[in-house]
Amino acid sequence: MFHLQNVWTLRLWLSVLLMLWTLDGCEGNYYLAHPNATEPEESEHPYAKYVVSIQSISPKMKSNRSGGHYYFGVNHYCVGTIISPTYILTASHCVFDNRLRRLLQPHELLVIAGTPNRLRPTVHTQVLRVQGLRPYMRGKIGHKHDLALMRLQGMLELNLSRALGIAEMALLPPRPFSNCTVLGWGQSFVRGPFAELVTQRIFQLQTDRACHKIFPISFKHGMICATVHADAPLDVCRGDSGGPLFCGTKLTGIVSRGVRCDKSYPAIFTGVFWHRHWIQTVYSRAGRSWLAKLLLALTIWRFSNLLVD
């Protein structure tokens, strides 16, 4: 038998361990990222509340007119879509470092939500760190299944305003020649800066036959190709990768790539409908993981009680 003092010490340590373990990754970590937060701008785009800016965590310092420095929003490089309070859907090449040929680490990334103007935080801005990355193909990053899930460290507070929302994923394959909407902060001209305010471009979906004819090798099942409206300055470009393609009110595709921002070529999207099972599987595994933790936590607590009894 343990000495009673040892039993209580063991019980205390088990309780502390249990608390730290169960709270890991669950506690909210959102905050206003800038002291000069303003009232939110009214966005013209009804889908803007679903998009987030994916940024690298290392700040790039930039002088402002008063001689000071700021860095909010300047590290944007990809777009993501809110599909749950804890998950962001984006492109797998957005979580891959091409220069170093490696998968990015969660601690290298930030997700910024509730900011249609990526350089101007609002009272609804939420910035969260990333807890985990799950590209569709773990061994390599390719165009065939250009999809990744980002698990947030904490939860987006979606009930505070109408500035954020959860996108509804498509349950049916898209219809050719539908007019759909892409949102992002991509360049409006080649080699230009990223857009400050989230922009919308209208795309018309093409048939699989037409897509195969233009991209006979790279276009695969599960992809969508679409041509941008003639009034748009460019096709999808740098800063748009990972962004959503909405057809009607449904999240139908994720921006994969264009051809040098040239709107004379269709853009390629990863189809959400054909990958929804994988998305749901990642969800369910995460749910089972937390259930297992809860059951083990209850077992540990019960064991500590038995030691005292």
Q: How are beta strands 223-228 and 199-205 bridged, if at all?
A: antiparallel
Tell me the average pLDDT of the chain: 81
Q: Are residues 55 and 149 in the same domain?
A: yes
Give the pLDDT mean for 57-84.
72
206-264 pLDDT tens trace: 999 999 999 999 999 999 999 999 888 889 999 999 999 999 999 999 999 999 899 89
Number of structural domains in the chain: 2
For residue 64, pLDDT beyond 60: no
The proportion of the chain whose per-residue pLDDT surpasses 90, expressed as a percent, equals 56
- Parent domain of 243: 169-273
Q: What is the pLDDT of residue 124?
A: 86
Q: Are residues 156 and 183 in the same domain?
A: no
Which CATH number goes with the domain that contains 110?
2.40.10.10
With respect to residue 28, please indicate whether it lies within any of the assigned structural domains.
no
Which of 69, 83, 71, 148 lies closest to 113, judged by CA?
A: 83
Q: Are residues 156 and 221 in the same domain?
A: no
With respect to residue 41, please indicate whether it lies within any of the assigned structural domains.
no
Which of 297, 64, 112, 79 lies closest to 199, judged by CA?
A: 79
Q: Are residues 94 and 148 in the same domain?
A: yes
Lowest mean pLDDT among 76-85, 258-267, 283-292: 283-292
Q: Are residues 53 and 148 in the same domain?
A: yes
Q: Which residue has the higher pLDDT, 1 or 281?
A: 281
Q: Are residues 161 and 267 in the same domain?
A: no
Q: Are residues 149 and 202 in the same domain?
A: no
Q: What is the pLDDT of residue 55?
A: 95
Q: pTM higher than 0.75, yes or no? A: yes
Both tokens of 96, joined, read 């891959």
For residue 22, pLDDT beyond 70: no
Q: Which residue has the higher pLDDT, 59 or 107?
A: 107
Name the band, by pLDDT with cuts 50, 70 and 90, for residue 287.
low
Q: In Å, how far are 28, 169, 172, 237, 300 from 232, measured between CA atoms?
A: 39, 26, 28, 12, 60
With respect to residue 13, please indicate whether it lies within any of the assigned structural domains.
no
Q: Are residues 185 and 85 in the same domain?
A: no
Q: Are residues 54 and 158 in the same domain?
A: yes
124-161 pLDDT tens trace: 899 999 999 999 987 566 678 999 999 999 999 886 56
